[in-house]
Amino acid sequence: MSTPVTNEKNHHLRQKLLDIGQEILQQRDVSTILKQVAQAIREHSPFQLVAIILFKRAVDPKSGKQERIAQMLTSGLSKEEETKLQQVAASGEFIPSQRIIQKGTALGGGYYITPEMIPEIIPKGIKGKVSQPGAWGAYDNLYFLLRQGQKVIGRLSLGDPVHGQVPTAEELAPMELFVNLATLALEKVKHTQELSSFQQRLQGIYRLSERLAQMEDLDELTTQAVEIIREHFAYDHVTLFLKEGETLVRRGFHTNLPVEEIRLERFERLAPGQGVCGWVAQHRQPALVGNVRKDSRYLSGHPAIYSELAVPIKEKDEFLGVLNIESVEEDAFTHDDLELLEALARQLAVGMSNIRQRQRLQEIVKEQEWSNRFLQNINATEGFEEVLTMIIQHGIDLLSPKADAGNFLVWNGSKKVFEFRATVNREDLGPLKKKITLKQEDLVELTALAHEPVIFTRTFQLTHPELSAIWKRFGQLPPASTIAVPIREEEQVIAVLSINNLDQEGIFTQDDVRKLQVLAPEIELALSRARDHERFRELALHDSLTGTYNRHYFTDFILKEQERARRSSYPISLVMVDMDHFYEVNDRFGHTEGDRVLHEVAQRLMNNVRTSDIVVRYGGDEFLIIMPQTARAKAEEVMQRLRQRLEKWDPKLSGMRISISFGVSSWMPKGRPSLELVLEKADEFMYHRRRASSRARRARKQAITATPRSRSKAKSSKKR
């Protein structure tokens, strides 16, 4: 039975562990969290032996899958005891979580284990110094599982309580709360690390796309691809197969396992349908296999392999090969790995197609010499619109002196319209670029566009009902002569290149059409590369969850913006924004809802600042807003308005509201303050504002909850 003294002690312990838990939730390093957890347990609980292990990935105990240790920390053990425990962990022979759940006695959120329940705890465990007959035994342990939904990400093992007794559930209640906070902190850090890792790997592949486009040798291309996989994927085998006739031939290979143990002869050449890679080649689809032992398609090359991921390398409908990685760990690869490997395969396909196309173009006579220059210039151009402009200019040069202008219509899949994305010598369209759009049905009348380039005159367009209506909507006259070239991707028109003569009708001939037809395949390749390049660049510079810019972009942007501001003598304001008590959203509603709220808050931040301002996810639930040409007073005004709007917003969290704290740091770049100082000031202002806001809320709450009697006393006191 609990006593007032016990209750007060437990309350004090709970509050102390809550305070420590709050500090842990702010940490961004796993090792630091583990050390703080172990230290807090030893200082504020009776347990003197602490061991914390984290698994490489979350495992459902009921699945029977092996738990692999990624990290372990102990406290209170001698060097010999710690070495023994590390050896047991490394061997993989530690007691699985499912056995602890099945055999242990549930106690205060944990599981109490004795040698009678699990005999192997004696050879695999550590003998405590405190034991009392009928109470806590020398090899007894209390386990807390670190849960992530139905899965377990690690566990906490406690032993050797100083009082020698088995704690009661009531005594362990504060400990259970603390363990839950520690698990949340670890989940948060792990999630952040995974996002950071994904961004770094994505940036690596983005850089690869630039290198691949410059390569002219297929062997160099395959070697470079294998090298990139070595840098950005966790694997034990990587193999690159290329299609030769109806079979797959191994052209690239690397392994972390002893080569003499691998049956390489089985993978020199694969027939259609042979092994997982043969299946991928046959079906033109990726294969993600968590356990190859359970997959009938698997062709064994090494007995230690458990996981395999294979993706097809294809350019449009042409199958070129298979990119394959394998691991000795079960379920080693995720859908992130699949997405990145497919992106790499697309870049390989573009690179391989570029190589093959260049090899063919080298055999073409003088009439096609311009094609070589065209490809070289395209490959040296990075931005999407720069590539479009380069293509237009080459089309004009090809038909010079007949052609003097041009433009590009490009399909925007998200808006379901064609947009004018680039123009050359079309001053009439320049100011309207991206504002002029065409729906897909607007091009239905141009039936020839589905098959081949077509010639239009101004007279034809002005007398054609649908075309004349389009130009009337634009408020423009069509060019005197136009050759329109459809650019397709898997039989879908994704762009239309128009080469014009602005003044002379009927100047283009079928021979001119033929010349541009020769250009069409090169345009398709260049556009495919440029679109992927633009997509990679966007992904590499943006936070995948919130859609805001990431820290990589922020560092580059702020340095350039400071230099512009220094030359023009205008101020910059930097706002640090932090969501108040955001951990409560994750705690009460789960991480899926937390991610949704984080995304929606980010959208509201972006929608409530100027287009010249940028919003950056700085980490976790922290954002930065950079406001060029903005003094502090104006930035404060904008943020106060934004804060009020957020407080009125209903995030659909059962009545829970979202609020933010912010700090503004403004400066004139002429003084060249360090970025660290600017961030420190913004953080300091935010901290003081949050404390002031908290005090104000507490005062309002006290005023509201004051009893009528206390209020009447206060009034009487004033009268006297």
Per-residue b/e over 394-407, b at no fewer than 16 CB within 10 Å? bbbebbeebbbbbb
What was the pLDDT predicted at 133?
60
pLDDT digits (tens, 9 = 90+) for 447-479: 444 567 888 899 988 988 878 887 887 777 889
Same structural domain, 36 and 139:
yes
Q: Is the pLDDT reported for residue 709 higher than 50?
A: no
Average pLDDT rounded to a whole number, residues 367-375: 61
Same structural domain, 444 and 306:
no
What was the pLDDT predicted at 717?
42
Same structural domain, 123 and 272:
no
Residue 580, domain CATH:
3.30.70.270
Same structural domain, 497 and 557:
no
What was the pLDDT predicted at 666?
84
Let me know if residue 375 belongs to a domain: no
What was the pLDDT predicted at 597?
92
Same structural domain, 136 and 282:
no
Let me know if residue 707 belongs to a domain: no
Same structural domain, 344 and 400:
no
Q: Is the pLDDT reported for residue 22 higher than 50?
A: yes
What was the pLDDT predicted at 321?
92
Let me know if residue 715 belongs to a domain: no
pLDDT digits (tens, 9 = 90+) for 234-279: 678 888 999 887 789 888 888 888 877 777 777 888 888 899 999 9
Residue 33, domain CATH:
3.30.450.40
What was the pLDDT predicted at 7?
56
pLDDT confidence tier of residue 665, bands split at 50, 70 and 90: confident
What was the pLDDT predicted at 125?
67
DSSP per-residue letters across 397-420: HHTTTT--EEEEEEEETTTTEEEE
What was the pLDDT predicted at 420?
80
What was the pLDDT predicted at 1?
45
Please report where in the chains the tokens 């007032």 appear, as a residue: 4
More confident residue, 281 or 517: 281
What was the pLDDT predicted at 481?
93
DSSP per-residue letters across 140-203: -EEEEEEEETTEEEEEEEEEEETT-SPPPHHHHHHHHHHHHHHHHHHHHHHHHHHHHHHHHHHH
Let me know if residue 697 belongs to a domain: no
Let me know if residue 714 belongs to a domain: no
Q: How far apart are CA 189 and CA 209, in angstroms?
A: 30
Same structural domain, 572 and 642:
yes
Q: Is the pLDDT reported for residue 363 higher than 50?
A: no
Same structural domain, 601 and 665:
yes
CA distance to 436, 471, 499, 508, 706, per residue, from 485 (Å): 19, 19, 8, 13, 77
Same structural domain, 259 and 303:
yes
- Among candidate residues 154, 185, 189, 187, the one with its CA nearest the CA of residue 21: 185
pTM over 0.85: no
Let me know if residue 277 belongs to a domain: yes
Same structural domain, 290 and 402:
no
What was the pLDDT predicted at 286?
95
Cβ contact 30:154 at 8 Å: no
Domain edge (last residue) among 493, 509, 539? 539
What was the pLDDT predicted at 5?
45
Same structural domain, 406 and 498:
yes
pLDDT confidence tier of residue 323, bands split at 50, 70 and 90: very high
Highest-pLDDT range among 379-393, 431-445, 464-478, 593-607: 593-607
Torsion over CA: 16, 19, 21, 24 (sign): negative
Reading the block at residue 489, the tokens are 């991707």
- Percent of the chain having pLDDT more than 90? 11
Peptide bond into 401 cis (omega under 30): yes
pLDDT digits (tens, 9 = 90+) for 545-604: 888 888 888 888 888 888 888 888 888 888 889 888 888 888 889 989 999 999 999 999
pLDDT confidence tier of residue 378, bands split at 50, 70 and 90: low
Domain edge (last residue) among 539, 572, 593? 539
What was the pLDDT predicted at 362?
57
Reading the block at residue 578, the tokens are 């932090």
Q: How far apart are CA 237 and CA 83, in angstroms?
A: 32
Domain edge (last residue) among 137, 161, 193? 193
Let me know if residue 199 belongs to a domain: no
What was the pLDDT predicted at 482?
92
pLDDT digits (tens, 9 = 90+) for 53-89: 888 778 888 877 778 787 888 888 888 888 888 887 7
Q: Is the pLDDT reported for residue 19 higher than 90?
A: no
Report which secondary-structure segment, H or E, holds 206.
helix 169-214
Q: How far apart are CA 523 and CA 487, in angstroms?
A: 7
As a whole number, the mean pLDDT across the chain is 78
DSSP letter assigned to residue 549: B
Q: Which domain holds residue 302?
A: 215-359
What was the pLDDT predicted at 393?
87
Same structural domain, 434 and 337:
no
Q: How far apart are CA 311 and CA 343, in angstroms?
A: 10
Number of domains, the chain: 4
Which range has the worst mean pLDDT, 63-77, 293-307, 368-382?
A: 368-382
What was the pLDDT predicted at 562?
82
CA 430 to chain centre: 35
pLDDT confidence tier of residue 209, bands split at 50, 70 and 90: low
Let me know if residue 719 belongs to a domain: no
